[in-house]
Amino acid sequence: MAGRREADFGSLLAQAREAFRGAFAGADPEIAVSAPGRVNLIGEHTDYNQGFVLPMALQLGTVLVGSPRQDGTISITTIAEQAEEPKTVQFPAPTEGNPLRPGVPHWANYVKGVIQHYRAGPVPGFSAVIASDVPLGGGLSSSASLEVAVYTFLQQLCPDDGDLVAKALACQKAEHTFANMPCGIMDQFISVMGKEGHALLIDCRSLETLLVPLTDPSLVVLITNSNVRHALTGSEYPTRRHQCEEAAKALGKASLREASMADLEAAQALLSEEVYRRARHVIGEIERTSRAVQALQARDYGTFGRLMVESHNSLRDDYEVSCPELDELVVAALEVSGVYGSRMTGGGFGGCTVTLLEAGAAEKALQHIKEKYRGTATFYFSKPSDGAKAQTLQADTSLSA
């Protein structure tokens, strides 16, 4: 079993610090920050439709350690095993006449995009090392975790005004423009604004948030990684987004957030069967998310779990973003007594499931899923964690210089 039960980035910080010393002539970094990944409890593919989402920040995340430098150069190394080569990039700090542009390796585009769209500046030269334990392609928002970590690091170098919403929006813009991924706002928001012991209801239309307590010691959140790698930068994600826009236009609405099921039924003849089903998922999912928050506030975990299962079935049948491996993991989880609900989480086509269950059933569920799943899954138990923050670099004599 993998995954920390305490929100402790100490191990990642130690790895990043050691790599920094190795990469930069034994120098110790002056700045350290962390930003969490996230799991979405319910509300999938609703964020870019101006709906509701209910994520929580994870005890998995990205750390970045580094120091300013005086030569105007930015040098960044990632020690993530899954990141493509080269794992070190170097480029001049951007100026008004010489902006940064995306290129290769792909992982560096998330970093460059945040630097280019940082809201204060000018950004000075710096050296940095990135370490992360958020699985890439797992639907746990490794990209937003990286973006928010970079932004938080830049805040230590040249502080901005501290506006959290603007910070999340700048990171989203970086992903849109440098990674060519038209993501919604959820991932960046929760990585910035997560709070220990709480899920976060995000209204993706007004950008208002509501902390929803999730501290019951009898509950466990189990994340199961199918280890099937998804790649959302292909055609599927933009296609779904376009289909939602097409449906909203046919219904005469600014977004599917404005539409009811009655509106959709009345306009069914105007839509292809596929676009109709896409809209049915989104409208239903927005409503499910609202009901799920009420259930969680009332500690009605049975209702919350049923809504999770309805969400999965809708993602599988109407939105068609599940896959056999995710379906298999959900079915296996639901066979265990003490499991309230389970669903795929993230963009789909692989990645993870999230399961809400009684703490006493945790080990039994883990073993059962492991036995039933034809692939090799990785398991994480997590509690809701804090969002991005600066970390203290304490004196450490255990690492070789």
* Residues linked to residue 301 through DSSP beta bridges, in sequence order: none
SS3 at position 108: helix
User: Which architecture, in CATH terms, is 216-382?
Assistant: 2-Layer Sandwich (3.30)
The pLDDT of residue 64 is above 70 = yes
Instruction: Tell me, yes or no, if the pTM score tops 0.75.
Output: yes
The pLDDT score that the predictor gives to residue 231 is 55
Contact 279, 259 (CB under 8 A): yes
Q: Which of 271-285, 292-306, 380-394 has the weakest average pLDDT? A: 380-394
What value does the mean pLDDT of the chain take?
92
> Is-catalytic flag, 263?
no
The pLDDT score that the predictor gives to residue 104 is 93
Contact 393, 65 (CB under 8 A): yes
The pLDDT score that the predictor gives to residue 151 is 98
Q: Report which of residues 205 and 234 the model is more confident about.
A: 205
Neighbour tally for 307: CB within 10 Å:
26
The pLDDT of residue 309 is above 90 = yes
> Between the CA of residue 118 and those of 162, 227, 261, 322, 329, what are the distances in Å?
12, 33, 40, 35, 40
> Between the CA of residue 88 and those of 7, 128, 172, what are the distances in Å?
28, 10, 23
The pLDDT score that the predictor gives to residue 230 is 57
The pLDDT score that the predictor gives to residue 81 is 80
- Mind giving me the DSSP string for 207-242? --EEEEE---TTEEEEEEE--PPP-TTSSHHHHHHH
Residue limits of CATH 3.30.230.10 in the chain: 9-211+385-392
According to CATH, the topology of domain 9-211+385-392 is Ribosomal Protein S5; domain 2 (3.30.230)
Residues 6 or more apart in contact with residue 190 via CB below 8 angstroms: 36, 38, 55, 56, 57, 141, 144, 200, 202, 387
Banded pLDDT at 1 (limits 50, 70, 90): very low
The pLDDT score that the predictor gives to residue 285 is 98
The pLDDT score that the predictor gives to residue 65 is 97
Residues 2-49: tens digit of each pLDDT = 443 444 688 999 999 999 999 998 999 999 999 999 999 999 999 999
Banded pLDDT at 183 (limits 50, 70, 90): confident
The pLDDT of residue 398 is above 50 = no
The pLDDT of residue 229 is above 80 = no
Catalytic residue among 47, 133, 187, 386: 187
Q: CA-to-CA distance for 258 and 50, rounded, in angstroms?
A: 9
Amino acid sitting at position 59 = Q
